Chains A and B, each alone.
Chain A
């Protein structure tokens, strides 16, 4: 048992930190967010070159066999820079689903292309009525000839607009909220009957409402066994919660750094505002929240590494405890970051608000504080 980084992990952290420093000045990020694509293709190519797109996949799958701790290191640094490339959607959601549930053929065609940076994926798991319940699925898959017909509405599908393939959950048998009966389908972006209503999210990312209207897919579009996708979806999203939590830790760290710097320079009543005890104590609490979050994020990654591919007894408790704790911390740190910056913190021009917005979207990703407090206690 230890919390120290290995020398390889230190190298990984240094290279991601360097990428963020070189490419994610606020102005550069602002330009990416305003661009048609919403992120940088050049950055994506660089991710492929650095091996980050294959980081979590096993060597048998053509990846680099990285651990969940490795993924957390990368995501924490991404969080510091508010990186907008679709790493979560393509690698940590789509890619992992394919690796865990896919046939040899699916892995070979899709994962290889993902790792090379030639294919992007999106994952539609929410619906307008599902709120945060992954098993609440009304999208239907009806057997037809040699394949299936999909009908339904997937909400807030991150980066669906730029994805080559969209993976969706759909129900063949069973009721709306049954855990059994859910299947995964891989749908090509240009399939007939698939339409997207795309938009920008609060934190400058891209997402879509995805409408499936009589979408015909072949039998080979199914990912994993029919009707048995839920445990895989839960596993992949619980792992992604760990990664999102690491990202939040990185974002909180930057908020705290910026705020400390600001209160040391901003003068009022003839002295830096940071000389007031009320400000010192607020910042001490912000640091404590960041530190408690870092410990949870590290713990989640290490426990996930111990459990590897299987669903361990504490998977749900670990993910939900981490998400709930970090959601509370992020709310406090983000809000107080703006508060201590005063008027300038309210401007779009200044960085702090952008961090606040990213932290808010992370809270809503895969379930907010309330949702996970509830999931945590129901799992007891």
Chain B
């Protein structure tokens, strides 16, 4: 056991720090600081810079375009990335579908999709949940029936984040109704411009448009777009969830938001001094910071275990539970810090259209929107309740 860094590691840290400082545009950083959603243009611009540097996918194997970093380098990169204030890389391509394709996909699929994912030439969305299939995802009904070289797909997905901006969807469809729910699902890649797809917005409690319903009406998708074997999609879906552990713990993002919380608490006036000097608030911050530290080292410990070749089971679920809870507590404190200015609420667009200045302190803008949006963290990707079922089953034998 050893936490120390080599000379090479320290040089790498400098390289990461300078690269991020020199290349992160101020307007992208500002939106991200406020917890506002990144725009499509910003996302593509920023992710292409990371891709050009070869840093877009730290966890991918080298043969597929990953940097092949040691545990220390991954740790350094994630820490420096967090400190830079850069927005997180969109998870759907790099963290989710990418690893499924390079692990289970055909050579043609690898050649066709992986470069686009790395270069952000295609944006992806995730077609999982359906109106009747949330936590019980395996009960999904969207049907794919073979017809010649195609599947013909009919059905509906819901809660599909960023479907309206996406070029591609990775989608779970039912290819067999005669077997157990889990055994009749396939994993297919669907171009979003396919005839028969309709995307309808769902406006969230943050009054923003990130969620969608997606309808499939006789959508034809080549069978060649199926990843892996027919009816084995559930296996790939579970692999995907386990593989996104870096994403689920969200340590880097939370670390950055914590520094922002401390900064805001230092500016907010309270009880005749500043909020950061209030023992109660200070204590809440300390507890959060310590919980985050425990999460960070848990993640590193599991990553180390994984790299040593000892297979993980439900560890990612534990990270997801804690990571989501910590992120939510953090957003809650960011709003709490604002006092009365946690109450005014306008969308980003409305605020931008004002010409009479911000309501309340400048740092207030965006915090409540982010807080509302983050309520989803314990729901999506398998709710925290479902994650606890997984932990109990896989790690406790219950």
Q: Which residues from chain A sit less than 8 Å from chain B, CB to CB?
A: 1-6, 9, 69, 260, 263-264, 274-275, 277, 279-281, 283-285, 287-288, 291-296, 298-299, 301-303, 305-306, 321, 324-325, 373-374, 376-377
Contacts and interface: CB of A to CB of B under 8 A. Distances in A.
14 contacts: A2-B2, A4-B1, A4-B308, A277-B389, A281-B389, A283-B396, A284-B395, A291-B318, A295-B294, A298-B1, A301-B1, A303-B3, A321-B294, A376-B286
A377 B3 CA distance: 24
B177 interface: no
B388 A302 contact: no
B294 A296 contact: yes
Interface string B1-26: 11111000100000000000000000
B101 interface: no
B193 to A, nearest CB: 43
A114 B167 CA distance: 71
Given A1-B300, A2-B308, A9-B1, A285 B283 contact: no
B72 A283 contact: no
A313 B282 CA distance: 21
B287 A5 contact: no
Contacts of B5: 1
Contacts of B4: 1, 306
Interface residues of B, number: 44
Contact of A2 (B1, B287, B291, B321): B1
B273 to A, nearest CB: 15
B388 A1 contact: no
B295 interface: yes
A284 B1 contact: no
A299 B3 CA distance: 8
Nearest to A4: B308
B397 A296 contact: no
Main secondary structure of the interface of A (DSSP, over half): helix
B305 A3 contact: yes
A215 to B, nearest CB: 40
A302 B3 contact: yes
Contacts of B385: 281
Contact of A295 (B301, B307, B392, B398): B301
A260 B72 contact: no
A281 B3 contact: no
Given A3-B1, A294-B301, 5 more contacts: A288-B391, A296-B297, A302-B2, A324-B286, A325-B294
Contacts of B237: none
A373 B3 CA distance: 24
Given A283-B396, A285-B388, A306 B294 contact: no
Nearest to B307: A2
B301 A288 contact: no
Q: Sorted from nearest, which 4 A-B pairs have the closest CB atoms?
A: A280-B392, A1-B72, A295-B297, A3-B304
A347 B299 CA distance: 38
B75 A1 contact: yes
A264 B398 CA distance: 7
Interface string B72-87: 1001000000000000
B392 A283 contact: yes
B347 interface: no
A234 to B, nearest CB: 19
B398 A280 contact: yes
Nearest to B70: A1
A376 B290 contact: yes
B207 interface: no
Interface centre among A9, A284, A325, by most B CB within 10 Å?
A284
